[in-house]
Structure 1
Amino acid sequence: ASSASTETYSLSPGQLLAGGDKLVSSGGKFALGFIQIPGSDSKPSGSGGNSTQLRIWFNRVPKLTSVWVANRGGSPVTGAASPELTISGDGNLVIVDHGKVAWSTQAAATASNNRTVLLLLDTGNLVLRSASDVLWQSFDHPTDTLLPGATIGLDKVTGRSRRLVSSKNRIDQALGLYSMELGRSGVVQMLWDSSVPYWSSGEWNGGYFSSVPGMTARHLFGFTFVNDDREVSFAYHLLDETITMYSFLDVSGQRKVLAWHEATQNWATVYTHPTAQCEVHAACGPFTVCDDNAPTRCSCMKGFSVGSPEDWDLDDRSTSGCRRNTQLNCASISSGTMVGMADMFYAMPSVRLPYNPHSAVGHVASAVECEQVCLSNCSCSAYTFGSGGCSMWHGGLLNVKQHHQIDGASSGDGEILHIRLAAKEFRTRKNNNVVIILGAIGAGLNALGILVLIVVLRRTRRNKRYSETLDKIHGGSGLVSFRYSDLRRATRDFSEKIGAGGFGSVFKGSLNDSTTIAVKRLHGCYQQEKQFRAEEQCQNSELENQIPNSSWSCEGAGILARELPGLHHTL
């Protein structure tokens, strides 16, 4: 068999599409080829290497955007060898990996092999046909994307459903947990795990679905809705064919309509349903809190940590969610022997309560009784008690949403959820509080130490000034400057009066080195300073070699101080 060219517009019997080869639509809008998935979690254990998937993508959009994937539900193609796409002897399209068929269209082909041809249309529809007969087409097997002209719905005769299923994560387009389908009722629903509905389009009113008023924007789309005895189906088409736009079911569980914006070279969101991420069932996974107002919408509850950081990095949170840091102490309770501390409960205020509550059996009259009922059941992971009585949850807690206060007041929507945790989680919290308290005490002691050091230094400097003053008294002559506060302290606030003169009173004092001094305090200061200094000079001459030095201070009063050699000395 010969290999197809690097870029071809059809694939015929005997030709291969492998490696970097592409099958391109006639107008160049779409391309088909093999895409490698680095580090895919979908590959079988021990297979090694990267997985490879056959995909269709927008050929003219520089940002790789896949719209269809083959073999989503089967084992991916793995290993170093390149898989090959070809038309088999029975007329089916097959992927051959290591000589074995890894995927097949499994069409009831009746045409001979040499008349079958594979075409990729400019609508994005991959068609296997023989002459004018369509043997198989990708539009009958949508993945997570609904292209313009494609339909979702139900064949009421055969029971075959055309529905969208989200991808596992942003890289791997294996089957995810969210789906969107149109059933017999004629209403589009989004479901988690094919069983839990979380969004509905409302009924078709002849022009649009009643819960999707945005469909009235007729300048963008036209719609086709069919509901008869044979089928129920819905399709849309673009009124402006120059716009690149598509609808898909995102990994987040939201249905989005995106349009390519050439100026920014990125996709712009036109519609999103549900509009809020937290309205998607299990959007963040078990034991998480969803908050549409937070920078990171999903966070773990207290006592839990991210189950798989790798999955979270790829926007796959619904499966792993968060896991307990410490296992509950249930074994000893169920056996009737208490080993270690009993589990405790942590209150989460202002939250939307989890999905699927269970009412307590029997009459429960108080929150304390409700807690005890939950504690006695190892499978009970949380409880709440309110006007509706005692409600409990078993297993993983899903759909807990954080409510916020509005203008300082509670929104009124939130309730208090008590989640069950191991006692160790609370001891850790208390230990953290002790560390904080000890840290605060340590900081206080440090501050006190610094304060004491400052006081000691100030006293040391003051004593140094006294020493310098004494040195001047004993070693020099003339006036020495005292601070008023120093003399006040030396005389014990001028408490021991030993005489009086024409200009003031005389007080006995003592310096730090036990030197006794006589201090004369004037009744006034500036107007008598001249006479005071004259008296000082006179005393200096009369008492020369008897009283070595004197000092002057004027801080609110004139003061003359002299050393008093002994108690027998008089001034």
Structure 2
Amino acid sequence: MRHSNCILLFFTSLVIFFPTISLSIDTLTATNSVTNDQTLVSSGDVFELGFFSSGSPDKWYVGIWYKNIPERTYVWVANRDNPLSNSSGVFKVADQNIVLLDQNQKPVWSSNITKGGNTTAAVLLDSGNLVLREAEDPSNYLWQSFDFPTDTLLPDMKLGWDLNTDLDRYLTSWRSSADPSSGDFSFKLDYHGFPENFLWDNKEIKYRSGPWNGVRFSGVPEMKPLDYLKFEFVTNQDEVTYSFSVTTNNLFSRLIVNPSGVLQRLTWIPDTKQWNPFWYAPKDQCDYYRECGPYGICDANASPVCKCPRGFEPKNLQAWNLRDGSDGCMRKTNLECMGDKFLHLRNVKLPETTTAFVDRNISLKDCRDLCLKNCSCTAYANADIRNGGTGCVIWVDELLDIREYPSGGQNLFVRLAASDLGDSGRRNALIIAITVGIGILLLGGVAFFIWKRKRLQRKRKPGQKGLHERSQDFLLNEVVISSKREYSGEKSDELELPLFDFDSLAKATDNFSEENKLGQGGFGCVYKGGLVEGQEIAVKRLSKNSGQGVEEFKNEVRLIARLQHRNLVRLLGCCIDMDEKMLIYEYMENKSLDSVLFNKERSSLLTWKRRFNIICGIARGLLYLHYDSRFRIIHRDLKASNILLDGEMNPKISDFGMARIFGNDQNEANTKRVVGTYGYMSPEYAMDGLFSTKSDVFSFGVLVLEIVSGKKNRGFYHSNSELNLLGHAWRLWKEGKGLELIDPVVGSSYADQEVMRCIQVGLLCVQESAEDRPTMHTVVLMLSSETATMPQPKTPGFCLGRSAVETDSSSSKQEDQTFTVNQVTVTMLDAR
């Protein structure tokens, strides 16, 4: 009796202290099952299958995750769109199928096959594949989870088509990090024409990989075989599939589509104990589908990013000059068919190939001849770039979504009328003669101009200049000429920034009327305007008495004209007329983030989904500035009023007057002129003038906490303490009450884990030591992946003590400012 009691006590203890028990088997038969308190484990202890709840207690799923990775990472979900209402489900083999039954024994999900044999068994393999097979023939899979992916592609798992069964294997994102149901984004392989992959946002294409060229996808130049990572693309009469394999033990790699619509390859390295970002897309403006329209070429290292190839011109010149290249390019000269030539483009992503013709057995010369014989042919290229190139791809439609790379693309031959290539010797001689003649005339004109100018200077009093001459000197010497200088060792192209005349802007803004005024800052006022063509614009007019003057204006023109990203505001042009200096931007319907977030009447427009999208958008824009743009840019004044919102509440970073360029090997700089806004400045910048990417990260962290809470960091004081918003958030976090920080107007329509992840990211970004703060690469990964491992935050900077200045003081005010940094009082003179 005593022995029986001991056994009972032992099993009772197991239930209490180990509520989920891993079965010592990897196989399910008709005689066993998995319930909520059990899991199935692969034979090598790599993967585990069981029940889980994510974000909601009344939604339960059966999924597969890595067994020995501390941060649970799901790779497959059986009933993602049909959850159980509670944990009382059963996962088993019945009627020769794998089934999931609810508490009433009704089927919720099934493998749903009809060809099963007499005896079947389900096995969880070390690859993460759950297979159903006959007991008599274990190698014959009747069904496998690899054929029905969720958001993850694992090694040796195929993406693409089984042409015999018409089975399409593709990835679909989770709805959110806490909701595994099917989201808006999917990654699919199109096998038509010359097969390639597409990232879809519902029914719209967001990104295209380019076709497989024997080595890599044409649009992924970073894709190189490594010792531990191999890629394979198969195309034949039976299948068109892409897969990858890992050759090193204890190294895990996966390709996912995250809920934000970003395609990511993540690699788990045991030494770091975290998922490391290996590659992601889309990463810049040129990764977005058809950014430059038909025949347009996108180059992320150029400004503007869109250009027309030789023999083509913008189809919509007005939109093109305003940096909207979506209408693409058109031919200058119609094709003549048999007399046409070919323009050789190098290092490009091949145009969209779903309607292209492919012959893998002919040479490039035969491909050219074949294209010439077909008057509808618009371009040709090699199908395989290995061994000098083999095979043939021919396009007969418009060339769409071309991108140019510094290296790593491939050759494309675009059909042109012979006259556009200028083959004729007589034509070349004529061009040379004309050029020489023009050169002589220009030299004579310059000599006359210099003589005339010296003559005028002799007549003018010393130091005197005309207003028109002063404005022209400013434009030529300070803006355009500076665009030709070298930044960070890289020679810049001349700016192609449209110049607006004062009268047209005055007319567009109703003579800068109060009714059209959008806002005002230290620089002056911003007005809404409308061009004659109907485009809405925002005009930033520099005040003559502004503390932010010529230097900030020039800085903004130099920098933002070269920056191209969906989360950066687009500069359309500038105006310099006598003493007037204006910048013309795209119009943002919802104005600045602070005008919505901190406005009681409008803050309810910011649902949690919108707030999260704004946080992620700002992070992607900042990542572009720090790492992916042609220059490394430190913004130095990131705050809610400098985040603009378009009609769909998408965020765009603005106001680059305070920004600075860093060299590729430069990590930190020092300034005696501290600029920025109190409440957003990092401690090392405010106190010692040290700024770096980490000072921008600090400002971003403040923004995150403001977006979550709906409260300003500066001007917020907890009723029972001296804490500002950072200190208040830090205290709630330490007490395990982080969710109390969320803005009440959000209501209950949010995922707890997503909110807590944002708060944790915000606190990591505002840590007092710059070395402890994450980079924006890591921030984007942490925000976009529900499985990313995040460290615990340390004490924030600026979290203790009340500022001695009660008003919201910006550095644009030239007066003494006193504020506290962790109980250390600092006075800044002329703090700009």
TM-score, normalized by length of structure 2? 0.34
Larger Rg: 1
Could you say which structure has the higher helix fraction? 2
Could you say which structure has the higher strand fraction? 1
TM-score, normalized by length of structure 1? 0.49
